[in-house]
Amino acid sequence: MNYYFPIKHLHVTAVTLSIILFVIRAYWSVTGSALLQHRLVRILPHVVDTVLLTCGVILAAMIGPEQPWILTKIVLLIAYIGVGTYAIKRGRTPRTRLIAALCAVAIFAYIVGVALSKSPASWFA
């Protein structure tokens, strides 16, 4: 039995949920909403991102991880998460958090381009 496509489907579902949850949290962070402290909002994104990464790693292992576009995705995923923490909590002012949020969304869009083109050049391939 080959689980490749169900896992890929789960990966892409987690990818979609991840960016939706990120944009909602970034909006609440920039506007200073107390909703950001809600328990569900604090836990769910980590569950989704763990599923995203785990499925990505399993898929990569199945097709051979030593491909430039997969390494690019891993590096940029770390950047997305790192910049994302500035958008959600580490940025001191709303303006810093907004700029960080826009950068994180741009990195995310670049990663989607890498996934679709299977090239580190992403949308520019």
Considering only residues 16-55, where is the footprint of ligand HEM by CB under 6 A? 53
Residue type, position 84, single letter: G
Listed in sequence order, the residues at least 6 apart from 77 whose beta carbon sits closer than 8 Å to its beta carbon are: 53, 56, 111
Find the binder of ligand HEM among 26, 29, 30, 80 (CB under 6 A). 80
Report, in Å, the least distance between residue 11 CB and ligand HEM: 6
Residue choice 15, 48, 101, 104 for contact with ligand HEM (CB under 6 A): 15
- DSSP-derived letter for residue 37 is G
57 belongs to the binding site for ligand HEM (CB under 6 A)? yes
Which window, 23-31, 83-91, 92-100, 111-119, contacts ligand HEM (CB under 6 A)? 111-119
CA pair distance 48, 25, nearest whole angstrom: 14
User: Nearer to ligand HEM by C-beta: 30 or 105?
Assistant: 105
Residue among 22, 30, 48, 73 that touches ligand HEM (CB under 6 A) = 73
Count the neighbouring beta carbons within 10 Å of the beta carbon of residue 16: 12
For the bound state, the minimum distance from the C-beta of residue 2 to ligand HEM, rounded and expressed in Å, comes to 12
Amino acid, single-letter form, for residue 45: P
Q: Which 3-state string (H, E, C) describes 59-95?
A: HHHHHCCCCHHHHHHHHHHHHHHHHHHHHHHHCCCHH
- Chain residues in the site for ligand HEM (CB under 6 A): 8, 11-12, 15, 53, 56-57, 59-60, 63, 70, 73-74, 77, 80, 108, 111-112, 115-116
